[in-house]
Amino acid sequence: MKVSGPELEKEFSWELDDFAELKQGRIGLRLMSGRSTLISNFKFSKKELMK
């Protein structure tokens, strides 16, 4: 997940190899209340496994 703002840009990822692969479903985003939040260009991708 890449997060960017006026002065900072960061990229986050999670190690999910120990979880079963998901074929379908919904994605929920939890937002902090009291913050001005704008979500745009949201993309979901699958990390390719190294062999």
Q: What is the pLDDT of residue 31?
A: 76
Of all residues in the chain, what percent carry a pLDDT higher than 70?
A: 78
Report how far residue 49's alpha carbon sits from residue 51's, in angstroms, rounded to the nearest whole number: 6
More confidently predicted of 37 and 8: 8
What is the average pLDDT value for the chain, to the nearest integer? Answer: 78
More confidently predicted of 33 and 21: 21
What is the maximum span of the chain, computed from C-alpha positions, in angstroms?
44
Residue 22's SS3 state is coil
